[in-house]
Amino acid sequence: MKSTPTRFRWAWWLLAYAALGLGLIGIVVPGLPTVPFVLLAAFAATRGSSRLHARLLADPRFGPVIRDWQAQGAVSRRAKRLATAMMALAGLVMLLTAPRLWMAVVGIGCMAIVALWLWRRPEPR
């Protein structure tokens, strides 16, 4: 674990748990991503909570994703497909429910940029 000044350790700890909470909510809420929040939680936990970081790495669902990202900056094809499908579903919901078309277009545009970035990431070896 990197040495973190004691005065900032609480902030990293707080960010780690907040990101993990948002990631867990993202499992059931369409349009709220899970994996980026879990990766952020792992990043912050390395600086604020070695116990949480170890738990995340040992988790059967999140551990492989975190290890692939930390080692290679890689995202599995399955995760890419799932993320793209969920963003498409969220985009459809936005088109159907946004009070103004431009609001949906902005959200869909942001998700399209994220999807392009995601598909440019390498896949684990």
Which has more pLDDT, 106 or 27?
106
What does the pLDDT read at residue 4?
56
Identify the band that residue 12 occupies on the pLDDT scale cut at 50, 70 and 90.
very high
Note whether 49 and 4 are within 8 A (CB): no
Q: What is the mean pLDDT of residues 8-29?
A: 91
What does the pLDDT read at residue 5?
61
The DSSP call for residue 31 is T
What does the pLDDT read at residue 3?
54
The DSSP call for residue 30 is T
- Report the distance separating Cα 104 and Cα 99, nearest Å: 9
For the chain, which residues make up each domain, given as ranges?
1-73, 74-125
- Report the distance separating Cα 93 and Cα 97, nearest Å: 6
Tens-place pLDDT, residues 58-113? 999 889 989 999 999 999 999 899 889 888 988 999 999 999 999 999 999 999 99
Tens-place pLDDT, residues 31-48? 777 888 888 999 999 999
Note whether 26 and 37 are within 8 A (CB): yes
What does the pLDDT read at residue 26?
85
